Amino acid sequence: MSSLTTKCTTAAVALALSLCSVSCMKYEKKEKSPTSGSATMVCDNSFENIMAQEIDVFEYQYPDAHILVRYGTQAEALDSLFSLNTRTVVISRDLTPEEKRALKAKYKNERKLNVTVRSAKIAVDAVAFIVNPKNTCEKLTVSELADIMTGKSTEWNDLEPSKLGKIRVVVDKSGSSLATYLSDSLCAGRPLAPTVQAAGSVSDVFKIVEQYPNAIGVLGVSWITSDMDSADMSKEELAKSVLAEGAVQGATLTDRVKVLKVNRDNEVRAYKPYQQYIFDGSYPLFRQIYMVTTASTSNVAGGFYSFVTGPTGQKIIMKTGILPARVSVQAVELPERE
């Protein structure tokens, strides 16, 4: 009897060890898979609307994959990357060759790892200017916008006959990549006026413009498309809409606020930030979006990088209203209804 008990116990232990071994092997295999496991990333908050949808579809398509994202300023994203706290960031510029070498050296010195720094332009984002529908202004030149941002023009009446009074300028955050773009590119290196208000978030910019007729807000175009319902879709609905065969239709602009036309100083015609006008360069104010990673192609962070830069990820970007970097755009005639 004792012998039989011993044999049964031994068999049970052997079986348990065998199951544990199989389980552990499966777990290790999953952790090394580009479509399973967990990964962290930091994304510039002005691109939150885009990246949130990318993550939803990726996690729907690969249920064992989990992307933990933090949204912050571009400076915070770069700090996290160079502090080795995250392997992936989404920002408005590529790393310089010197930065890539420094990042590789830091991994080698501190983590004893040889990493490859990969980066890709994933989209082109138009910088849009929005006003309250009660504002009679329809278009502004690049120079007029620069004068507003630097404080040279402080009243709406400085631009056209208006009773709206002082111009209230609203951006997402001080020190954000959008604020940096306005200073460096639109204003040719001049600082933004002290009166430029940081709303605290991109969505708050939208809310302030809806509330105050004298406000002008600055946003990435993905935040002002009428296809914002895609952001309210379930993961399943959104995933099915982009995983289906065929092209997706680009978004149109919302009518909840007025999106201003913009023209270069030496051109007569002004344009709204439609995808076609971003594509052909007619709309003058745009910036690049880059994804940078030090992740291996064999883990989930590398898998997500491949997803965003691949066909499905680019179709998602197309739906948000900005211009995908790797999907051809079919030109269509836009009615002049503005």
pLDDT digits (tens, 9 = 90+) for 298-315: 999 999 999 999 999 999
Predicted confidence at residue 44, as pLDDT, reads 94
Reported as a single tens digit per residue, the pLDDT across 166-192 is 999 999 988 889 999 999 999 999 999
- Report the Cα 84 to chain-centroid distance in Å: 21
CA geometry: angle 104, 105, 107, nearest 5 deg = 65
Position of tokens 């996690």? 59
Q: State the Cα–Cα distance between residues 218 and 125, nearest whole angstrom.
A: 12
Q: State the Cα–Cα distance between residues 200 and 213, nearest whole angstrom.
A: 20
Q: What is the mean pLDDT of residues 20-44?
A: 66
Q: Closest Cα to residue 220, out of 267, 268, 253?
A: 253
Q: Closest Cα to residue 135, out of 148, 152, 117, 150?
A: 148
Q: In percent, how much of the chain has pLDDT > 70? A: 82
Predicted confidence at residue 223, as pLDDT, reads 87
Provide the 10 A C-beta neighbour count for residue 212. 17
Q: What tokens were used for 207?
A: 């809310």
Predicted confidence at residue 326, as pLDDT, reads 81
Please say whether the beta carbons of 91 and 290 come within 8 A. yes
Q: State the Cα–Cα distance between residues 316 and 61, nearest whole angstrom.
A: 13
Predicted confidence at residue 248, as pLDDT, reads 55
Q: What tokens were used for 260?
A: 């201003």
Q: How confident is the model at residue 156 (pLDDT cuts 50, 70, 90)?
A: very high
Mean pLDDT for all residues in the chain: 85
Position of tokens 């344009």? 271
Q: What is the mean pLDDT of residues 289-297?
A: 97
Position of tokens 């065969």? 245
Reported as a single tens digit per residue, the pLDDT across 136-154 is 999 999 999 999 999 999 9
Provide the 10 A C-beta neighbour count for residue 294. 25
- Kindly tell me if the per-residue pLDDT of 28 is higher than 60: no
Q: State the Cα–Cα distance between residues 136 and 117, nearest whole angstrom.
A: 49
- Kindly tell me if the per-residue pLDDT of 86 is higher than 50: yes
- Kindly tell me if the per-residue pLDDT of 244 is higher than 90: no
